[in-house]
Each structure stands twice: as C-alpha cells, then as structure tokens.
Amino acid sequence: MVPDTKPKRLYQRVRPTSGEAAKAQIIVGPKVPVVTCRLVDYSPGGACVEIFPMVPVPDRFELLHGRVRKKCRVAWRRGVRIGVAF
C-alpha cells in the first residue's frame, strides 16, 4: 500500500469554492452609494468579500458579481473581510 501523502485540510466545506479573487459590488439600497469590494472566495451557498477601506455594511445587502446579483446575509465579520450566505 502507498501511504496517503496529500495534506489534510484544516476545515471541511459543505460545498466546493472558487478561490479566484475578483471585483464585486455591494448594493445596499437605491439611495445609498455602491460599495466596491473584492470577492475572495465564492461558493453556491455564500462568499467571502474584502472591503478596503472598511466601510459600514448592513447585515443584509445584494452582491453584484459580473451579471449575477445575489441577496446576502452576513454570517461573520473579521477585519476587512465579511462572510455572507446566499
């Protein structure tokens, strides 16, 4: 038998993610300016976005990435990064 030499993952995700960073926009409402952000991680169930400089973002907003617009709920906040669920 050949021993398993693959490194062990520190965490397990329910769904696979795409680790490609891309520009995105946070849309809060019609009278609030759009917030530009960087999409750090993306999966069918949620995403991690990075906002720099950090600006206040409500717990619910819409994320626009390319032609895809998703309604989001903030799951966690750590510094300039925000984890959202779709």
Q: In this predicted structure, what is the pLDDT of residue 19?
A: 52
Q: Which residue has the higher pLDDT, 43 or 12?
A: 43
CB-neighbour burial class of residue 82 (10 A; exposed 0-12, middle 13-18, buried 19+): buried
Instruction: Kindly indicate the confidence band of residue 45, based on its pLDDT and cuts at 50, 70 and 90.
Output: very high
Residue 27 has pLDDT above 70, yes or no: yes
Distances, alpha carbon 61 to alpha carbons 20, 27, 50, in Å = 22, 6, 15
The count of C-alpha atoms lying within 13 angstroms of the C-alpha of 33, restricted to the half-sphere facing its C-beta, is 5
Q: In this predicted structure, what is the pLDDT of residue 30?
A: 86
Distances, alpha carbon 80 to alpha carbons 10, 12, 14, 85, in Å = 22, 23, 24, 17
Residue 14 has pLDDT above 60, yes or no: no
Walk me through the domains of the chain, giving residue ranges and CATH numbers: 22-85 (2.40.10)
User: What pTM was computed for the model?
Assistant: 0.72
